[in-house]
């Protein structure tokens, strides 16, 4: 019966694992067991981070809109409520961009919903 030598496949598997941990500190980049453990945590945090990023940006946009709208003499919540009543469907990302780059346009929007 012929035998199967798995040296090359096992080696490729280890090298692939270690290539993912390139740039990690200490033995987590070079020792297989530590690298495997580090990747389990890293990939979990990466997944959570992608979800957290969306929350962080939305909070940032709300803060920027609030600051710009308060200069016009209106609160953030009243502004968003007025937008919904007037059926103006501009998302918070666009509104915050307008607040930063084109404050005159945002002041026209505030005037129109008032």
Q: Is residue 30 part of a domain?
A: yes
For residues 11 and 36, give the distance between their C-alpha atoms in angstroms, rounded to a whole number: 15
- CATH of residue 25's domain is 1.10.1900.20
Number of domains in the chain: 1
> Tens-digit pLDDT profile for the chain (114 aa)?
888 888 898 999 999 999 999 999 999 999 999 999 999 999 999 999 999 999 999 999 999 999 999 999 999 999 999 999 999 999 999 999 999 999 999 999 999 998
Name the residue range of residue 42's domain: 7-113
Q: What is the pTM of this model?
A: 0.75
Q: Is residue 2 part of a domain?
A: no
Q: Is residue 12 part of a domain?
A: yes
Distances (CA, A) of 29 to 24, 39, 70: 5, 10, 50
**Are 18 and 32 within 8 A, CB to CB?**
yes
Q: Is residue 93 part of a domain?
A: yes
- DSSP at 72: T
Q: Is residue 1 part of a domain?
A: no
Q: Is residue 52 part of a domain?
A: yes
Q: Is residue 15 part of a domain?
A: yes
Closest CA to 62 of 91, 103, 102: 91
């Amino acid at each position: 019966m012929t035998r199967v030598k798995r040296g090359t496949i096992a080696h490729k598997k280890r090298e692939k694992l270690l290539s993912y941990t390139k740039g990690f500190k200490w033995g987590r980049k070079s020792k297989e067991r530590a690298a495997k453990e580090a990747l389990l945590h890293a990939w979990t945090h990466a997944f959570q981070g992608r979800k957290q990023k969306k929350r962080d940006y939305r909070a940032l946009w709300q803060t920027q809109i609030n600051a710009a709208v308060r200069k016009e003499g209106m609160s953030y919540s009243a502004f968003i409520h007025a937008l919904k009543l007037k059926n103006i469907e501009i998302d918070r990302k666009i509104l915050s961009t307008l607040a930063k780059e084109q404050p005159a346009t945002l002041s026209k929007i505030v005037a129109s919903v008032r």
